[in-house]
Amino acid sequence: MTTAPTKTATTTVLQASGVTMRFGGLTAVKGVDLTVNSGEIVGLIGPNGAGKTTFFNCLTGLYVPTEGTVAYKGTVLPPKPHLVTKAGIARTFQNIRLFANMTVLENVLVGRHTRTKEGLWSALLRGPGFKKAERASEERAMELLEFIGLDHKRDHLARNLPYGEQRKLEIARALASEPGLLLLDEPTAGMNPQETRATEELVFAIRDKGTAVLVIEHDMRFIFNLCDRVAVLVQGEKLVEGTSDVVQSDERVVAAYLGTPYEGAPEDEALGDVQSAEAAAAAPRTGKTAEPRAAGGTGTEGDDK
Protein backbone atom coordinates (compact mmCIF):
# COMPACT_ATOMS: atom_id res chain seq x y z
CA MET A 1 0.00 0.00 0.00
CA THR A 2 1.35 3.40 -0.88
CA THR A 3 0.81 6.36 1.35
CA ALA A 4 0.50 9.90 0.13
CA PRO A 5 3.46 12.03 1.14
CA THR A 6 2.70 13.93 4.31
CA LYS A 7 2.75 17.64 3.77
CA THR A 8 3.96 19.63 6.73
CA ALA A 9 1.67 22.56 7.41
CA THR A 10 3.32 25.94 6.97
CA THR A 11 3.53 28.01 10.11
CA THR A 12 4.58 31.61 10.58
CA VAL A 13 7.90 31.46 12.36
CA LEU A 14 8.70 35.17 12.45
CA GLN A 15 6.32 38.07 12.33
CA ALA A 16 7.87 41.51 12.63
CA SER A 17 5.21 44.21 12.69
CA GLY A 18 5.86 47.91 12.27
CA VAL A 19 9.43 47.69 13.56
CA THR A 20 10.95 51.16 13.90
CA MET A 21 14.33 52.04 15.37
CA ARG A 22 15.42 55.61 15.98
CA PHE A 23 18.82 56.74 17.13
CA GLY A 24 18.23 60.32 18.24
CA GLY A 25 17.21 62.17 15.09
CA LEU A 26 18.06 59.27 12.76
CA THR A 27 15.38 56.72 11.91
CA ALA A 28 17.41 53.69 10.89
CA VAL A 29 14.40 51.37 10.45
CA LYS A 30 10.92 52.67 9.63
CA GLY A 31 7.80 50.61 10.24
CA VAL A 32 9.11 47.38 8.72
CA ASP A 33 6.78 44.37 8.48
CA LEU A 34 8.37 41.04 7.64
CA THR A 35 7.19 37.46 7.87
CA VAL A 36 9.23 34.29 7.61
CA ASN A 37 7.39 30.98 7.32
CA SER A 38 8.62 27.52 8.20
CA GLY A 39 10.60 25.95 5.37
CA GLU A 40 11.55 29.32 3.88
CA ILE A 41 14.81 31.07 3.12
CA VAL A 42 14.18 34.81 3.03
CA GLY A 43 16.74 37.38 1.94
CA LEU A 44 17.11 40.93 3.23
CA ILE A 45 19.05 43.20 0.91
CA GLY A 46 19.67 46.90 0.56
CA PRO A 47 22.45 49.42 0.09
CA ASN A 48 24.99 50.16 2.82
CA GLY A 49 23.34 51.90 5.75
CA ALA A 50 19.83 50.80 4.70
CA GLY A 51 19.11 49.48 8.21
CA LYS A 52 19.49 45.72 7.68
CA THR A 53 21.71 44.99 10.67
CA THR A 54 19.72 47.39 12.84
CA PHE A 55 16.61 45.43 11.89
CA PHE A 56 18.37 42.14 12.84
CA ASN A 57 19.37 43.72 16.14
CA CYS A 58 15.72 44.59 16.78
CA LEU A 59 14.63 41.03 15.95
CA THR A 60 17.15 39.51 18.33
CA GLY A 61 16.62 41.80 21.30
CA LEU A 62 19.97 43.54 21.02
CA TYR A 63 18.04 46.76 20.40
CA VAL A 64 14.68 47.60 21.89
CA PRO A 65 12.67 48.84 18.90
CA THR A 66 11.28 52.34 19.29
CA GLU A 67 8.01 50.99 17.89
CA GLY A 68 6.66 47.65 16.70
CA THR A 69 6.70 44.04 17.80
CA VAL A 70 8.57 40.87 16.98
CA ALA A 71 6.72 37.57 17.37
CA TYR A 72 8.13 34.06 17.14
CA LYS A 73 5.57 31.36 16.36
CA GLY A 74 2.76 33.63 17.47
CA THR A 75 4.29 34.84 20.75
CA VAL A 76 5.58 38.39 21.05
CA LEU A 77 9.19 38.28 22.21
CA PRO A 78 10.65 40.37 25.00
CA PRO A 79 13.61 42.39 23.66
CA LYS A 80 16.24 40.41 25.57
CA PRO A 81 18.82 38.45 23.55
CA HIS A 82 18.94 35.39 25.84
CA LEU A 83 15.13 35.11 25.86
CA VAL A 84 15.00 35.47 22.08
CA THR A 85 17.57 32.67 21.71
CA LYS A 86 15.69 30.53 24.21
CA ALA A 87 12.45 31.08 22.29
CA GLY A 88 14.07 29.72 19.10
CA ILE A 89 15.84 32.46 17.13
CA ALA A 90 19.62 32.22 16.67
CA ARG A 91 21.95 34.46 14.72
CA THR A 92 25.43 35.01 13.43
CA PHE A 93 27.12 38.40 13.18
CA GLN A 94 28.73 40.31 10.34
CA ASN A 95 32.05 40.19 12.21
CA ILE A 96 32.98 36.73 13.45
CA ARG A 97 32.50 36.34 17.19
CA LEU A 98 34.05 33.04 18.12
CA PHE A 99 35.79 32.24 21.36
CA ALA A 100 39.21 32.29 19.74
CA ASN A 101 41.08 30.42 22.44
CA MET A 102 38.52 27.69 22.88
CA THR A 103 38.36 24.55 20.77
CA VAL A 104 35.93 23.99 17.93
CA LEU A 105 33.88 21.60 20.08
CA GLU A 106 33.84 23.98 23.05
CA ASN A 107 32.55 26.80 20.85
CA VAL A 108 29.59 24.67 19.82
CA LEU A 109 28.98 23.55 23.39
CA VAL A 110 28.72 27.22 24.43
CA GLY A 111 25.85 27.53 21.98
CA ARG A 112 23.97 24.75 23.76
CA HIS A 113 23.64 26.49 27.09
CA THR A 114 20.07 27.66 26.44
CA ARG A 115 19.06 24.05 25.88
CA THR A 116 20.63 22.48 28.98
CA LYS A 117 18.47 22.30 32.05
CA GLU A 118 21.08 21.47 34.67
CA GLY A 119 21.46 24.22 37.27
CA LEU A 120 24.39 25.65 39.18
CA TRP A 121 24.37 23.08 42.02
CA SER A 122 24.18 20.21 39.61
CA ALA A 123 27.16 21.64 37.73
CA LEU A 124 29.19 22.23 40.90
CA LEU A 125 28.48 18.77 42.29
CA ARG A 126 28.86 17.12 38.89
CA GLY A 127 26.23 14.52 39.76
CA PRO A 128 24.91 11.81 37.43
CA GLY A 129 22.24 14.13 35.99
CA PHE A 130 24.85 16.68 35.05
CA LYS A 131 27.18 14.12 33.50
CA LYS A 132 24.35 12.63 31.43
CA ALA A 133 23.34 16.08 30.18
CA GLU A 134 26.96 16.87 29.41
CA ARG A 135 27.32 13.69 27.35
CA ALA A 136 24.09 14.42 25.45
CA SER A 137 25.28 17.97 24.71
CA GLU A 138 28.59 16.70 23.42
CA GLU A 139 26.88 14.15 21.20
CA ARG A 140 24.65 16.85 19.72
CA ALA A 141 27.61 19.19 19.26
CA MET A 142 29.50 16.46 17.41
CA GLU A 143 26.45 15.83 15.18
CA LEU A 144 26.45 19.51 14.28
CA LEU A 145 30.18 19.50 13.59
CA GLU A 146 29.67 16.52 11.32
CA PHE A 147 26.82 18.36 9.60
CA ILE A 148 29.06 21.33 8.79
CA GLY A 149 32.07 19.11 8.05
CA LEU A 150 34.30 20.13 10.94
CA ASP A 151 34.09 17.05 13.17
CA HIS A 152 37.70 16.15 12.36
CA LYS A 153 38.78 19.51 13.82
CA ARG A 154 36.94 19.22 17.13
CA ASP A 155 40.07 19.80 19.22
CA HIS A 156 41.57 22.61 17.13
CA LEU A 157 41.55 26.11 18.57
CA ALA A 158 38.96 28.26 16.81
CA ARG A 159 41.54 30.92 16.03
CA ASN A 160 43.61 28.43 14.03
CA LEU A 161 40.80 27.63 11.58
CA PRO A 162 40.86 29.17 8.12
CA TYR A 163 38.38 32.00 7.66
CA GLY A 164 35.70 29.99 5.81
CA GLU A 165 35.71 27.33 8.54
CA GLN A 166 35.39 29.97 11.25
CA ARG A 167 32.22 31.21 9.59
CA LYS A 168 30.89 27.64 9.41
CA LEU A 169 31.71 27.14 13.07
CA GLU A 170 29.71 30.26 13.94
CA ILE A 171 26.75 28.74 12.14
CA ALA A 172 27.17 25.46 14.02
CA ARG A 173 27.28 27.36 17.31
CA ALA A 174 24.07 29.17 16.40
CA LEU A 175 22.43 25.85 15.43
CA ALA A 176 23.41 24.39 18.79
CA SER A 177 20.56 26.31 20.40
CA GLU A 178 18.16 24.28 18.19
CA PRO A 179 16.57 27.34 16.56
CA GLY A 180 13.44 27.34 14.47
CA LEU A 181 14.78 30.46 12.75
CA LEU A 182 18.38 31.28 11.93
CA LEU A 183 19.44 34.83 11.10
CA LEU A 184 22.63 35.12 9.07
CA ASP A 185 24.29 38.53 8.74
CA GLU A 186 26.49 38.56 5.63
CA PRO A 187 27.55 34.89 5.90
CA THR A 188 29.71 35.02 2.76
CA ALA A 189 31.49 38.32 3.43
CA GLY A 190 35.18 37.88 2.60
CA MET A 191 34.70 34.39 1.18
CA ASN A 192 36.14 33.10 -2.07
CA PRO A 193 33.70 31.70 -4.68
CA GLN A 194 34.18 28.09 -3.52
CA GLU A 195 33.48 29.01 0.10
CA THR A 196 30.43 31.00 -1.01
CA ARG A 197 29.05 28.02 -2.94
CA ALA A 198 29.65 25.75 0.05
CA THR A 199 27.78 28.22 2.25
CA GLU A 200 24.88 28.20 -0.19
CA GLU A 201 24.69 24.40 0.06
CA LEU A 202 24.92 24.60 3.84
CA VAL A 203 22.02 27.06 4.06
CA PHE A 204 19.86 24.82 1.87
CA ALA A 205 20.73 21.86 4.11
CA ILE A 206 19.82 23.86 7.24
CA ARG A 207 16.44 24.72 5.72
CA ASP A 208 15.91 21.09 4.70
CA LYS A 209 16.49 20.03 8.29
CA GLY A 210 13.63 22.27 9.42
CA THR A 211 15.16 25.62 10.35
CA ALA A 212 13.85 28.66 8.49
CA VAL A 213 16.51 31.18 7.48
CA LEU A 214 16.58 34.97 7.16
CA VAL A 215 19.78 36.16 5.52
CA ILE A 216 21.40 39.55 4.89
CA GLU A 217 23.89 39.53 2.06
CA HIS A 218 25.43 41.88 -0.46
CA ASP A 219 26.30 39.09 -2.90
CA MET A 220 23.30 39.23 -5.22
CA ARG A 221 24.05 35.99 -7.03
CA PHE A 222 24.08 34.19 -3.67
CA ILE A 223 20.81 35.83 -2.57
CA PHE A 224 18.88 35.30 -5.78
CA ASN A 225 19.98 31.65 -6.06
CA LEU A 226 19.15 30.89 -2.49
CA CYS A 227 16.04 32.71 -1.40
CA ASP A 228 12.37 31.89 -1.78
CA ARG A 229 11.58 35.53 -1.09
CA VAL A 230 13.64 38.70 -0.91
CA ALA A 231 12.82 41.96 0.90
CA VAL A 232 14.59 45.17 -0.05
CA LEU A 233 15.31 47.85 2.53
CA VAL A 234 16.15 51.34 1.37
CA GLN A 235 16.75 54.11 3.90
CA GLY A 236 15.14 52.05 6.63
CA GLU A 237 11.94 51.28 4.71
CA LYS A 238 10.86 48.13 2.96
CA LEU A 239 10.73 49.10 -0.70
CA VAL A 240 9.80 45.81 -2.33
CA GLU A 241 9.28 42.20 -1.35
CA GLY A 242 8.85 39.18 -3.59
CA THR A 243 10.52 36.32 -5.40
CA SER A 244 14.00 36.80 -6.82
CA ASP A 245 12.53 37.39 -10.29
CA VAL A 246 10.10 40.02 -9.05
CA VAL A 247 12.75 41.86 -7.03
CA GLN A 248 15.39 41.79 -9.75
CA SER A 249 13.05 43.23 -12.32
CA ASP A 250 11.48 45.90 -10.11
CA GLU A 251 12.45 49.28 -11.49
CA ARG A 252 12.55 50.90 -8.06
CA VAL A 253 15.04 48.29 -6.88
CA VAL A 254 17.11 48.66 -9.99
CA ALA A 255 17.15 52.41 -9.46
CA ALA A 256 17.74 52.34 -5.72
CA TYR A 257 20.08 49.43 -5.41
CA LEU A 258 20.93 47.38 -8.43
CA GLY A 259 21.58 50.32 -10.69
CA THR A 260 25.29 49.86 -10.16
CA PRO A 261 26.88 46.64 -11.42
CA TYR A 262 26.57 43.79 -8.95
CA GLU A 263 28.44 40.56 -8.46
CA GLY A 264 26.98 37.94 -10.74
CA ALA A 265 25.52 40.31 -13.29
CA PRO A 266 26.30 38.86 -16.75
CA GLU A 267 28.29 41.86 -17.92
CA ASP A 268 30.06 42.04 -14.60
CA GLU A 269 31.57 38.56 -14.65
CA ALA A 270 34.91 39.67 -16.08
CA LEU A 271 35.14 42.68 -13.79
CA GLY A 272 34.42 40.42 -10.80
CA ASP A 273 37.34 38.17 -11.73
CA VAL A 274 39.68 41.15 -11.95
CA GLN A 275 38.46 42.47 -8.60
CA SER A 276 38.90 39.06 -6.92
CA ALA A 277 42.42 38.79 -8.27
CA GLU A 278 43.22 42.31 -7.07
CA ALA A 279 41.80 41.58 -3.64
CA ALA A 280 43.78 38.35 -3.39
CA ALA A 281 46.97 40.14 -4.38
CA ALA A 282 46.36 42.95 -1.90
CA ALA A 283 45.66 40.62 1.04
CA PRO A 284 47.49 37.31 0.62
CA ARG A 285 46.06 34.60 2.85
CA THR A 286 48.35 32.36 4.83
CA GLY A 287 47.59 29.09 6.60
CA LYS A 288 46.42 31.19 9.55
CA THR A 289 44.07 33.57 7.86
CA ALA A 290 41.71 33.76 10.74
CA GLU A 291 42.95 36.41 13.05
CA PRO A 292 43.10 39.54 10.92
CA ARG A 293 39.49 39.15 9.82
CA ALA A 294 37.99 37.36 12.78
CA ALA A 295 36.73 39.05 15.89
CA GLY A 296 39.14 36.61 17.39
CA GLY A 297 38.21 37.60 20.89
CA THR A 298 35.78 36.86 23.58
CA GLY A 299 32.52 37.08 21.75
CA THR A 300 31.59 40.02 23.92
CA GLU A 301 32.69 42.84 21.68
CA GLY A 302 30.49 45.91 21.75
CA ASP A 303 30.23 46.05 17.94
CA ASP A 304 26.62 45.35 17.12
CA LYS A 305 27.49 44.17 13.61
| Contact residues: ligand ATP, CB under 6 A | 23, 26, 28, 46, 48-54
How near is the Cβ of 73 to ligand ATP at its closest, in Å?
25
Beta strands in 133-253 (DSSP E): 181-185, 212-216, 229-234, 237-242
140/221 with CB nearer ligand ATP:
221
23/101 with CB nearer ligand ATP:
23
Residue 241 phi/psi, 5° resolution? -145, 140
89/176 with CB nearer ligand ATP:
89
Bridge partners of residue 230, in order along the sequence:
43, 242
How near is the Cβ of 293 to ligand ATP at its closest, in Å?
16
Cβ contacts of 180 within 8 Å, gap of 6 or more: 13, 38, 72, 73, 88, 89, 210, 211, 212
* Residues counted in the chain: 305
Beta strands in 192-236 (DSSP E): 212-216, 229-234
Instruction: Report the C-alpha gap between 280 and 290 in whole angstroms.
Output: 15
How near is the Cβ of 28 to ligand ATP at its closest, in Å?
3
3/48 with CB nearer ligand ATP:
48
46/179 with CB nearer ligand ATP:
46
Which class for 236: exposed (0-12), middle (13-18), buried (19 or more C-beta within 10 A)? buried
How near is the Cβ of 222 to ligand ATP at its closest, in Å?
14
How near is the Cβ of 46 to ligand ATP at its closest, in Å?
5
